[in-house]
């Protein structure tokens, strides 16, 4: 551990902000009205400071372990480099959709960033029944911009190699490989479901089609280095904002990309789809079918915006001589098919695995049982269906399982 790596504390934040010019110019560190640790994620410390003029900054520090578990699960704090690299690269492509990085403290693994506390974490907004129209499309546009702009299609050869080299992130990737692909069907001692759902988890683990699909998906995750993907693009990694009284998002920001690496484009698509299905499962469990259908509709909104953004950028590809339009159609179709399986993986891990989601966990147990059962059934159904089907077909198939 570096000598100067100390954990940041609330008491230290004012002095820290004053000592960093890039942060001190965003906030009056001598006139702070509040400093708090607001982290609610699984991994890191996050501090929000506000000054008397209402201006704010956020500083996030990576710990040498998983916050959710503690020192018993060590994890490299170097992960903040991957978060910074990807946030900067993605911000350059779609500045309006990615949180702005203000400062990097390598020794202490601290990131200073734009204060988004006038936004809400999208998962919280979804749980509250809010509608931020345009958010799902914004997520799709972000994925499309990243898929093109950080890939062989958008980068020169040396630039690509430099980005790939910087993005080697095995420790964080291994967490995904274990938790998302292996552990939903192979309990490593971290899984937990309600007793009433134990047969559902056992049926998932005994489903050869599902386990085989997870094996293929894990292989794809580990070998298809297509783009500098976000790697953790659930609805808790997106902030949304709408004007008072409006149901339309006027700002959508992606953040928390420490899992970024050169991986499959469809992994981010599938992650978003899975989280819309989880949001839908909550609504259906609560008896709000209209809301459930609305949440399922986000699947196609993200897909359509992804596809449109990628197609818009396609004319700028590096080598149009051999990467002809027929190849574009092949890629789009392949990504759509892969997204089904990645989504299934992400859905199942949130039900049986170590890191769960509030969409389902905050349901009363009697409603949670049915929601969990529906999501696992949807995941199993999704991997059974052949690849050449639409995003809408995916959400319809999941919806049928959720309401069963």
Which positions lie near ligand ADP, rule CB under 6 A?
38-44, 46, 48, 58, 60, 99, 113-117, 121, 236, 255-256, 258
121 binds, among Mg ion, ligand ADP, none (CB under 5 to 8 A by kind): ligand ADP
- For 102, the token pair is 């203000």
279 binds, among ligand ADP, Mg ion, none (CB under 5 to 8 A by kind): none
Query: What is the C-alpha to C-alpha distance for residues 282 and 277, in angstroms, rounded to an integer?
Result: 9
Q: What is the DSSP letter of 286?
A: T
- Closer Cβ to ligand ADP, 312 or 361, answer by number: 361
99 binds, among ligand ADP, Mg ion, none (CB under 5 to 8 A by kind): ligand ADP
115 binds, among ligand ADP, Mg ion, none (CB under 5 to 8 A by kind): ligand ADP
- Closer Cβ to Mg ion, 154 or 263, answer by number: 263
330 binds, among Mg ion, ligand ADP, none (CB under 5 to 8 A by kind): none
Shortest CB 148 distance to ligand ADP, Å:
25
C-beta of residue 357 within 8 angstroms of C-beta of residue 375: no
- Backbone dihedral angles phi then psi of residue 60, each to the nearest 5 degrees: -120, 130
Shortest CB 211 distance to ligand ADP, Å:
29
- Closer Cβ to ligand ADP, 44 or 301, answer by number: 44
Q: Is 75 exposed, middle or buried (0-12, 13-18, 19+ CB in 10 A)?
A: buried
- For 247, the token pair is 């149901």
Q: Which residue is nearest to ligand ADP (CB)?
A: 41
Q: How many CA atoms lie within 13 A of 274 on its CB side?
A: 33
Percent of the chain as helix, strand, coil, to the nearest 5? 55, 15, 30
Paired residues of 51 in beta bridges: 32
Provide the CA 125 distance to its chain's centre, in angstroms.
16
Query: What is the C-alpha to C-alpha distance for residues 225 and 176, in angstroms, rounded to an integer?
Result: 15
- For 259, the token pair is 């899992």
Of the listed pieces 131-139, 159-167, 176-184, 254-262, which binds Mg ion according to CB under 5 A?
A: 254-262
58 binds, among Mg ion, ligand ADP, none (CB under 5 to 8 A by kind): ligand ADP
The correct pick among 28, 37, 78, 177 for binding Mg ion (CB under 5 A) is 78
288 binds, among Mg ion, ligand ADP, none (CB under 5 to 8 A by kind): none
Indicate whether 256 belongs to the interface with Mg ion (CB under 5 A): yes
- Closer Cβ to ligand ADP, 44 or 185, answer by number: 44
Shortest CB 68 distance to ligand ADP, Å:
8
Query: What is the C-alpha to C-alpha distance for residues 62 and 72, in angstroms, rounded to an integer?
Result: 16
- Closer Cβ to ligand ADP, 176 or 185, answer by number: 176
Indicate whether 69 belongs to the interface with Mg ion (CB under 5 A): no
Cα separation values, 308 from 144, 268, 305, Å? 8, 16, 5
The correct pick among 41, 134, 140, 184 for binding Mg ion (CB under 5 A) is 41
Q: Under 8 Å CB-to-CB from 149, ≥6 apart: which residues? A: 89, 92, 93, 155, 313
The residues of the shown chain that bind Mg ion, judged by CB under 5 A, are: 41, 43, 78-79, 82, 256, 258
């Amino acid at each position: 551990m570096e000598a100067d790596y100390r954990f940041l504390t609330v008491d230290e934040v004012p002095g820290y902000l004053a000592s960093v010019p890039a942060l001190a110019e965003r906030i009056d560190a001598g006139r702070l009205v509040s400093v708090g640790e607001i982290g609610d994620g699984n991994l890191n410390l996050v501090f929000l400071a506000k000054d008397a003029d209402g201006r704010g900054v956020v500083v996030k520090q990576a710990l040498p372990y998983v916050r959710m578990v503690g020192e018993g699960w060590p994890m490299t704090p170097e992960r903040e480099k991957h978060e910074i690299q990807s946030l900067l690269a993605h911000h350059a492509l779609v500045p309006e959709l990615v949180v702005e990085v203000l400062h990097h403290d390598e020794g202490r693994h601290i990131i200073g960033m734009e204060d988004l506390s006038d936004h809400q974490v999208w998962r919280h907004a979804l749980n509250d029944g809010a509608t931020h129209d345009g958010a799902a499309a914004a997520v799709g546009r972000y994925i499309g911009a990243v898929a093109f702009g950080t890939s062989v299609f958008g980068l020169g050869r040396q630039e690509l190699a430099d980005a790939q080299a910087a993005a080697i992130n095995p420790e964080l990737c291994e967490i995904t490989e274990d938790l998302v692909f292996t552990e939903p069907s192979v309990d490593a001692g971290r899984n937990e479901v309600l007793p009433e759902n134990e047969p559902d988890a056992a049926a998932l683990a005994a489903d050869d089609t599902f386990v085989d699909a997870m094996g293929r998906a894990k292989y794809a995750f580990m070998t298809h280095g297509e783009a500098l993907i976000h790697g953790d693009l659930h609805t808790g990694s997106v902030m949304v904002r709408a004007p008072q009284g409006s149901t339309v998002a006027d700002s959508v920001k992606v953040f928390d990309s420490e899992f970024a690496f050169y991986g499959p484009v469809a992994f981010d698509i599938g992650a978003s789809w899975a989280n819309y299905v989880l949001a839908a499962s909550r609504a259906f469990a609560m008896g709000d079918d209209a809301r459930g259908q609305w949440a399922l509709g986000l699947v196609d909104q993200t897909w359509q915006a992804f596809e449109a953004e990628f197609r818009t950028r396609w004319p700028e590809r590096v080598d149009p001589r051999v990467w002809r339009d027929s190849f574009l159609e092949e890629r789009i179709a392949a990504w759509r098919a892969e997204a089904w399986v990645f989504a299934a993986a992400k859905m199942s891990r949130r039900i049986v695995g170590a890191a769960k989601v509030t969409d389902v966990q905050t349901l009363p147990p009697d409603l949670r049982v049915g929601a969990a059962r529906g999501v696992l059934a949807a995941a199993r159904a999704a991997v059974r269906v052949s690849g050449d089907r639409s995003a809408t077909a995916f959400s319809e198939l999941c919806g049928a399982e959720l309401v069963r």
